[in-house]
Structure 1
């Protein structure tokens, strides 16, 4: 994934009060769409230090924390060890580089991950293949923000455009809504966040 180098450097200092708060509202937004998840397995895709996934651990049967940054994964491993969590595992892997045929999940969620992925359609197609039939992909990210000018991240997403792209890939029952607005939460700019639900 793009920006892995940056995340390698900030892994140990990543869990700031603001990020913990954003993770909490993000996981609450994801939880609204979970159905019978206690018997299902999930992937926290682009998990970072696992802030969102840790909030949702008790909602699933098991969870795989997946990220391209080994330092981020090591932070998750430490949390799993510290809290003696039995239902979680970790994987350091880059979906943009190679496929992982044996990987599958009932739920995949990604929070503030898509904006770091150069080829969004490619990765969403890969994730579609990983989902079990009837599985669910949940995306939390920023709404498109014209005030953001960056050559390292997308400046957010238009929910309708993202829905169209995902429909072409094969996702169905897509619904999305804006659920949070915050001050200076995206590259120093005020921004709003959406949650998008879809099914395979």
Structure 2
């Protein structure tokens, strides 16, 4: 995934009070879209240190915390040990470079991850393959913000264009909405977050 090198460097000091706060807002938004998830398996895609997924552990049968940064995964492993978490596992893997035919999930959620992925279509296609039939991909990310110019990340996403792309891939029952606006939360700019729910 793009920017893995940066995340490798900041992993051990990633959990700031601001990030923990935003993660709570995001996990609450994700929870609204879960249906009978207690017996379902999920993947926290681009999990970082697991801030969002940890809030949702009791909502799922199990969660696989997946990231391209080994240092982020190591932080997550420490949390699993420290808190004696029984229904979580970790995997360091990069869907931009490869795919995995052995991975399957009922829910995949990704929070502020898509903006780091250079070419999003192949990754969204690979995640479609990972989903069980009827499974959900939930995306939380920033709405497009023309004020942000960066070589490192997308400057957010146009919800309708993203829906059109995902429809082309095969996702259905797609719905999205803006659910949070914050001060200076996107590269020093005020920004809003949307959540998109889609089904295989």
Q: With structure 1 as the length reference, what TM-score do the two structures score? A: 1.00
Residue in 1 that maps onto 2:121: 121
* Alpha-carbon distance in 2 for matches of 1:117, 1:96: 8
Structure 2 matches for 1:140-159, cutoff 5 A? Answer: 140-159=140-159
| Cα deviation 1:139-194 (Å, max 9, x = unaligned) | 00000000100001000000000000000000000000000000000000000000
* Alpha-carbon distance in 1 for matches of 2:4, 2:42: 22
Residue in 2 that maps onto 1:84: 84
| Cα deviation 1:114-135 (Å, max 9, x = unaligned) | 0000011110000000000000
Residue in 2 that maps onto 1:67: 67
How far did 1:58 drift? 0.4
| Cα deviation 1:6-39 (Å, max 9, x = unaligned) | 0000000100011001100000000000000000
Which consecutive residues of structure 2, in runs of 5 or more, have no partner in the other structure? none
Residue in 1 that maps onto 2:23: 23
Residue in 2 that maps onto 1:189: 189
Is 1:175 matched up with 2:175?
yes
* Alpha-carbon distance in 2 for matches of 1:196, 1:16: 26
Q: With structure 2 as the length reference, what TM-score do the two structures score? A: 1.00
* Alpha-carbon distance in 1 for matches of 2:158, 2:95: 23
Paired residues in the alignment total: 200
